[in-house]
Amino acid sequence: MSGEAVRFEPGEAFARRMDAEDPLRSFREEFLFPVHGDGHELYLLGNSLGLQPRKAKEYVLAAMEDWARLGVDGHFKGSPPWMEFHVPLGEQMARVVGARPEEVVVMNTLTVNLHLMMVSFYRPTPERSKILMEASAFPSDQYAVAAQVRHHGYAPERTVIPLAPRPGEETLRHEDILEALERHGKEIALVLLGNVNYLTGQAFDMAAITRAAHRQGCRVGFDLAHAAGNLKLSLHEDGPDFAVWCSYKYLNGGPGALGGVFIHERHLRDASLHRLPGWWGNDRRTRFQMKPDFEPAPGAEGWVLSNPPIIQMAALRASLELFDRATMPALRAKSEKLTGYLEFLIDRLPEGFVRSLTPRDPGQRGAHLSLRFTKDPQRMLETLRAEGIHCDFRYPDIIRAAPVPLYNSFLDVHRFVSVLERYARG
């Protein structure tokens, strides 16, 4: 799945040439960068909180204006009307993750959605109660899983099967995941993987894992917090039962932005699935008849609980329009080059100074590299901050650097590694 091979060169002139040839270079102008001194930061943190698209403020203010001018009539007369505000967002989001529009809905936030999806897709029985997940899953996912397990009367320590790398290794081997499925498959109710793993940057083969899990009769869900807007996903074809993600990381929806949910088509008309419903998930045709019995809307919309927050949606709209213009295949092609270039420059740093934990195969990673440093990582982070370089630090020694293809440049990557190099040699 890797893009065309590029022969990287160490000099700054190469970075400038790559930027000049980059068909997506103008998207950088669509974003607001945090200030640093008289200029702006070199921001490598799009995997944590994406930057603000210039248009976001305009769209948010327009929604505020509609509310002021129209009051409740904004539902029908806003531009766009609030009743339909979520429809194009769902369609745009579906394009980002490779799903059919009816399979995707934008609602709530990630952890809430993970709970809601587990209500529908984690239905343990005494014979099949287990959950297979990464030992290093994001804490919120671990808390949610343990609570759902307890909710059904099972003990997490006997029910959750943690997948860990082999001793001395940093990432999971694909064959070990398949082997765990072979070994425990008949007891597993749900396979839940974070794709991309937030800590190591490892991406999994979603299609192969889903196929293997389905052969064993398990349900499969993915947490795509670090994949949505990063990897080129094909959720419909790969076929997991559900996926959840947030849109404040690579999707630039703003702090606390609405999350996304995918439910595979095969489940959309199954009225027997348990769910925690609300009035906004009722079929639109009968919603306002206010009947006592819930009639789910066809599609993932049938899982929506509440009337949606328009102001949050307005901010997200600005970013999703950019994804539609840039397209995921083009973004991914640039991303593989950008991250490959970062790896190339990191490899040239003095021996023993830094080691990347992230797989070297571009097909097994997204934009970010997790870098483990030996030489006083805390002081190095301070050096980076003083230079206006913003990346993420995981105590005690890991820096995660994410060059994101929408707004980072090859020159950004070159500048970042130049500062590391000066520190390594200083």
User: Contact, 177 vs 163, CB < 8 A?
Assistant: yes
Residue 141 among known ligand-binding residues: yes
Asked whether position 198 contacts ligand PLP by CB under 6 A, the answer is yes
Residue 226 among known ligand-binding residues: yes
Could you give the strand order of the β-sheet that contains 398-401, starting from the edge strand earlier in sequence? 354-356, 369-373, 398-401, 392-394
Asked whether position 109 contacts ligand PLP by CB under 6 A, the answer is yes
User: Contact, 418 vs 410, CB < 8 A?
Assistant: no
Residue 307 among known ligand-binding residues: yes
Task: Give the β-pairing of 35-36 and 369-373.
Answer: unpaired
Asked whether position 142 contacts ligand PLP by CB under 6 A, the answer is no
> What part of residues 231-290 is at the interface with ligand PLP (CB under 6 A)?
246
Asked whether position 194 contacts ligand PLP by CB under 6 A, the answer is yes
Residue number with CB closer to ligand PLP (226 or 334): 226
Min dist. Cβ of residue 195 to ligand PLP (A)? 9
Q: Which stretch binds ligand PLP (CB under 6 A): 79-87, 104-112, 350-358, 399-407?
A: 104-112
Encoded tokens for 363: 């097909």
Supply angle C-alpha 313, 319, 323, rounded to 5: 125
Asked whether position 138 contacts ligand PLP by CB under 6 A, the answer is yes
Q: Which of 45, 78, 92, 111 binds ligand PLP (CB under 6 A)?
A: 111
Q: Which of 63, 93, 97, 110 binds ligand PLP (CB under 6 A)?
A: 110
Residue number with CB closer to ligand PLP (226 or 414): 226
CB atoms within 10 A of CB 34: 13
User: Contact, 323 vs 251, CB < 8 A?
Assistant: yes
Asked whether position 134 contacts ligand PLP by CB under 6 A, the answer is no
Q: Which of 140, 142, 216, 307 binds ligand PLP (CB under 6 A)?
A: 140
Min dist. Cβ of residue 199 to ligand PLP (A)? 9
Residue closest to 205 by CA, chosen among 166, 245, 176, 169: 176
Which residues on neighbouring strands pair with residue 390, listed in sequence order? Answer: 43
Asked whether position 226 contacts ligand PLP by CB under 6 A, the answer is yes
Min dist. Cβ of residue 104 to ligand PLP (A)? 17
Q: What is the residue whose two structure tokens read 């936030």?
A: 109
Min dist. Cβ of residue 47 to ligand PLP (A)? 8
d(CA 213, CA 183): 11
H-helix or E-strand spanning residue 1: none
Residue 111 among known ligand-binding residues: yes
Residue number with CB closer to ligand PLP (258 or 297): 258
Residue 306 among known ligand-binding residues: no
Peptide bond into 329 cis (omega under 30): no
Rg (Cα) of the chain, in Å, rounded? 22
The set of residues, in sequence order, having a beta carbon less than 8 Å from that of 228 and lying 6+ positions away, is: 96, 97, 245, 246, 247, 249, 250, 251, 260
H-helix or E-strand spanning residue 398: strand 398-401
Min dist. Cβ of residue 35 to ligand PLP (A)? 25
C-alpha 412: how far from chain center = 22
Q: What separation in angstroms does the CA of 27 have from each of 87, 283, 289?
A: 25, 39, 46
Q: Which stretch binds ligand PLP (CB under 6 A): 3-11, 55-63, 134-142, 323-331?
A: 134-142
Asked whether position 46 contacts ligand PLP by CB under 6 A, the answer is no
Residue number with CB closer to ligand PLP (226 or 400): 226
Residue ranges of the binding site: 110-111, 138-141, 223, 226, 248, 279, 307
Residue ranges of the binding site for pyridoxal 5'-phosphate: 110-111, 138-141, 223, 226, 248, 279, 307
Residues that bind ligand PLP (CB under 6 A): 109-111, 138, 140-141, 194, 198, 223, 225-226, 246
